[in-house]
Amino acid sequence: MTNVQELVELIALKEITPTQFEGFSKSVGSPNVFGGQVLAQALNAATRTITNNRVLHSMHSYFLEAGNLELPIVYNVSIVRDGGSFSVRRVTAEQNGLTIFILSASFQMEEQGYSHQIEMNRSVKQPEELMSWTEILEQFGEVIPKKTKGFLEAERPFEFKPVELVNPFNKVDLPAFNNIWFKLKGDASHLDMALKQQILTYASDYNILAAVMNRHASKAHWGNTQTASLDHSMWYFRDIDFDDWLLYAIESPNASGARGFAQGNIFTRDGKLIASVAQEGLLRPK
């Protein structure tokens, strides 16, 4: 995938019945289905059953099995509740009859109320001052570790620009945070709110566990650590503008029991908080 249109085509599922949908997969450079893809497709399935114009405000999910890139994924939606203000959906994703993922999502009618948010770190470098993954690959491709290089070479509908550039050969522990700017490739002006939320969710599964790895960089790296997303939660606060760069500010409060926990906030360039993310992942030393 190289642009927003190809990503939308991946996320938009084929309807089998009004509550059952089918999707396919595209690799992001790893041997299994990308977690962000399953998250976005499951939200697409859930949203397709919402008929009262309610808007997604939160989701919580668990990754149960590694997805097979070659097999279709069937998404089954349960209509849990349609209340006076909120609607809840539960989605299970299956391959060959095996449940690989479950998600619960809540949708709310439009309402007005109190408003506040945390401040974005204004000291981070702007995207124009930073190198993209593409530029990093072009400049350092000959010395980048093989596994990382293969990941960076995969085509993506987003451009990523890390604020803190980590040298994999400098074996020192780093602060347990990372900031990364990202921007959708292509024209996003035609996207409705539901699709924008699904695309943002797709992007949210990138980079988040790197904050955990940073804290143990003197000994841990992607080549000697088994990693996998275990669960993923997300809260959606405000409208999303994909015409400019977005900042994903991530920190890791904890790692223990071969698991690492990270949480992130996604801001517009002018500091508007549009979403928050939390994920625990497997980080098992090989």
* Residues designated as active site: 205, 229, 279
Q: Measured between alpha carbons, how far is 6 from 39 in angstroms, rounded to an integer?
A: 17
Residue 268, number of CB atoms within 10 A of its CB: 17
Distances (CA, A) of 193 to 47, 85, 264, 267, 269: 11, 18, 21, 17, 19
* Other CB atoms within 10 Å distance of the CB of residue 84: 5
Whether the Cβ atoms of residue 40 and residue 61 lie closer than 8 Å to each other: no
Residue 107 near residue 56 (C-beta atoms within 8 A): yes
Distance separating alpha carbons of residues 197 and 265, to the nearest angstrom:
14
Half-sphere exposure of 274 (CA within 13 A, CB side): 20
Our measurement of the distance from residue 19's CA atom to the centroid of its chain's CA atoms, rounded to an integer in Å, reads 24
Comparing C-alpha atoms, which of 65, 60, 58, 4 is closest to residue 33?
65
As a whole number of angstroms, the distance between CA 41 and CA 202 comes to 9
